[in-house]
Structure 1
Amino acid sequence: MKLLLNVHVIDFQNIGDLCSTPLDYFPFRGYEQQRVDIRELDTWLATDGDRLQDYEQVRIIVGGGGLLFKRFLPAFQQLQTLAPKAQLISWGIGQQLYKTQGDRASFYQQFDYQPYLQGFRFSSIRDVDHPNPQYPWVPCASCLHPAFDQPRPLRHQVVVFSHKKFQLHWRNLPRLTHETQDFNTILDFLASGETILTSSYHGAYWGTLLGRKVLAFPFSSKFHTLKHRPSLYPVDRWRTRQVLGRSWPPRWPWQRPSPQPALTCSIYRWQEWVADIPTYPHALQECRDRNHWYYRQVMES
């Protein structure tokens, strides 16, 4: 009996995380399949970890998503203790450094992947332009979703797709956030715009795969590591939105404390970054081919 365990973020209010697992797109015949939220890995190991000894083979796929982030390093270290009994495989994961000010051109290149990926049998990352050739590029597996094969009409010159925590605000422009749970609804929306303004990594990624122009408003290093890079607006900082001098939405004294309010950024003269946005007509096929290549590497070992 063989086990395939997929460890990633399972967040039903983040469609990018939900669609990033390769288990949704490839057959792994002969394996019992389980999924574990990386945020609950320690609990799973405490309650079910001993069961790993019952399997003749254990493979653990970590990904996809922006899991190379200091919050998740303890989880990677826990997984590393399971090798060599378990074969560790990273798939389409990427770095997260939260920095907008300073040297934007190179800070993401300083990321150290080794503490996360040591002990992995197969290591791939969705990032490019970094000094780590031992980690091949494999983009997010969501490119394999069959919804990308459907024709979708243009309806607007510009649409806005926001990350739920990093909101972009324009008057009179169609707007959606990545909390939307229906993938077809999101692709319909992204494809409806000739140009997409987005603070979502997957909004930028999917918009590019749809052949649209993308202007991204980055809040972490992951936007700089896309192979088919969109235009990047020079965000100085993200801040709590102010309306009439107060944070918005307001919290009154009798209300319970709410989660951290969404942040926003300046969009001053954003039109100047729209004129020369590149498009990548072959990006969808290139990303799919790379995922199929990696699947063969993993399954033929």
Structure 2
Amino acid sequence: MRKLGRMLAHDARHPATLAKRLLRKATSPLRLAALPGRIRRAPVLNLHRVDYTNLGDLKCGPYSYFDFLGGHPVVDINDLARWEGPADLGGKLIVVGGGGLLNSVFGRQWELITSDPSACLIVWGGGHNAHGSGRIDGYSHLDRCRLVGLRDYGQGHDWVPCVSCMEPGFDRPHPIRHEVVFFEGSHRPVRGVDPAIPKLTSRCMDLHRVLRFLGSGELVLTSSYHGAYWATLLGKRVVLIGVSSSKFFGMKHPPVHGTPSDWMSGGRSARVYPEALDECRGANRRFAAKVEEYVAAFSTASRAGELRLRYRRPRPC
């Protein structure tokens, strides 16, 4: 009780902390152990990595931008590692993505997702993410999916980049204040970057602040996938430094690669992609139209099933 009292007293003195705590609670994904009933009854699930220390993971769920998915439960893919079995997935439509969920550390979760043939799987904005690899060498589990939209370009499926491009913040002006800024991926710190360069990490959970920061530089150095993606959408020249995953090698609008100590040569060859924002949004809208048809069909079938159960005649004694 004393610990709770100290926590409440601290929040009362720091309204921003209280707001963040309440926001996190209000938007937290459904925990399978806590609310199995709703998960079991839901015809449609949104499934991706919900990480409150990584802004890119939080912003890559299509349900945040398309209303036809917004009313359906959200499940953190890491929760599946604690799931006792795949039975609850039977007959469901599961929208997986976005994020670097393919050929990555989520192999166990994919085994559970794909083990029930009656589940209808859709990948929206998923991407290859083999750490320590500099190439995309094929995908596992996609043969079990009904629709596949990959954020990796030219891989034999619909190209559907991260849905965070739908954020209205990309339409706002961001005054340039620096020649170069550095946006660091928080899970893989980079050494050797000039400390005089303005820096922000992906642990910043305020997207508006991140976009203002990226927009403030003429050139963006980054070791973050979403840092590179968002800077490109803002019309910036981008140099990747310290990258170590296949996820950086499937971008349709590729940045250049450099080193922490010698990024200037890369900066001179980096280019701007003024068409990137419209292309990314158009690809997501076209894919959304396909997904919406599936969601409508599954929701209708679920309601019909509920009605049949509710109004079926009781068996004679």
- Shift of the 34–203 alpha-carbon distance from structure 1 to 2, 3 Å rule, reads same
Partner of 1:224: 249
Question: 2 CA distance for matches of 1:170 and 1:40?
Answer: 39
What is the Cα deviation at residue 275 of structure 1?
0.8
- Is it true that 1:20 corresponds to 2:54 in the alignment? no
Partner of 2:75: 36
Partner of 1:120: 145
Q: Which of 171, 193, 202 lines up with 1:149 in the alignment?
A: 171
Q: Which of 85, 96, 107 lines up with 1:73 in the alignment?
A: 107
- Is it true that 1:186 corresponds to 2:226 in the alignment? no
Question: 1 CA distance for matches of 2:263 and 2:42?
Answer: 52
- Is it true that 1:163 corresponds to 2:155 in the alignment? no
Question: 1 CA distance for matches of 2:209 and 2:83?
Answer: 33
- Is it true that 1:296 corresponds to 2:286 in the alignment? no
Question: 1 CA distance for matches of 2:256 and 2:88?
Answer: 48
Provide the TM-score with structure 2 as the length reference: 0.74
What is the Cα deviation at residue 52 of structure 1?
5.3
Which secondary structure does the structure 1 equivalent of 2:175 belong to?
Answer: coil
What is the Cα deviation at residue 32 of structure 1?
5.0
Question: 1 CA distance for matches of 2:121 and 2:178?
Answer: 44
Contact 1:89 1:122 in 2 (8 A): yes
Q: Which of 243, 259, 277 lines up with 1:284 in the alignment?
A: 277
Question: 2 CA distance for matches of 1:52 and 1:94?
Answer: 22
Partner of 2:127: 94
Aligned CA-pair RMSD: 1.9
Partner of 2:162: 140
Q: Which of 255, 259, 263 lines up with 1:270 in the alignment?
A: 263
What is the Cα deviation at residue 82 of structure 1?
2.6
Partner of 1:59: 93
Aligned residues: 251
Q: Which amino acid aligns with 1:112?
A: G
- Shift of the 45–141 alpha-carbon distance from structure 1 to 2, 3 Å rule, reads farther
Larger fraction in helix: 2
Question: 2 CA distance for matches of 1:163 and 1:177?
Answer: 6
Q: Which amino acid aligns with 2:255?
A: P
Q: Which amino acid aligns with 1:66?
A: G
Contact 2:87 2:116 in 1 (8 A): no
Contact 1:80 1:118 in 2 (8 A): no
Partner of 2:9: none
Provide the TM-score with structure 1 as the length reference: 0.78
Which secondary structure does the structure 1 equivalent of 2:47 belong to?
Answer: strand
Partner of 1:83: 117
Q: Which amino acid aligns with 1:215?
A: V
The percentage of aligned residue pairs carrying the same residue is: 39
Question: 2 CA distance for matches of 1:228 and 1:278?
Answer: 9
Contact 1:73 1:116 in 2 (8 A): no
Question: 2 CA distance for matches of 1:176 and 1:219?
Answer: 20
Which secondary structure does the structure 1 equivalent of 2:210 belong to?
Answer: helix
- Which deviates more from structure 2 when the two are superposed, residues 213-222 or residues 279-288? 213-222
Question: 1 CA distance for matches of 2:71 and 2:274?
Answer: 38
Question: 1 CA distance for matches of 2:62 and 2:138?
Answer: 24
User: Where do 5+ consecutive residues of structure 1 fail to align?
Assistant: 234-265
Q: Which amino acid aligns with 1:91?
A: W
Contact 1:7 1:36 in 2 (8 A): yes
- Which deviates more from structure 2 when the two are superposed, residues 291-300 or residues 183-192? 291-300
What is the Cα deviation at residue 50 of structure 1?
5.1
Question: 2 CA distance for matches of 1:60 and 1:82?
Answer: 12
User: Where do 5+ consecutive residues of structure 2 fail to align?
Assistant: 1-40, 295-317
What is the Cα deviation at residue 21 of structure 1?
0.4
- Shift of the 275–32 alpha-carbon distance from structure 1 to 2, 3 Å rule, reads closer
Contact 1:36 1:44 in 2 (8 A): no
What is the Cα deviation at residue 44 of structure 1?
4.2
Could you say which structure has the larger radius of gyration?
2
Which secondary structure does the structure 1 equivalent of 2:159 belong to?
Answer: coil
Partner of 1:206: 230
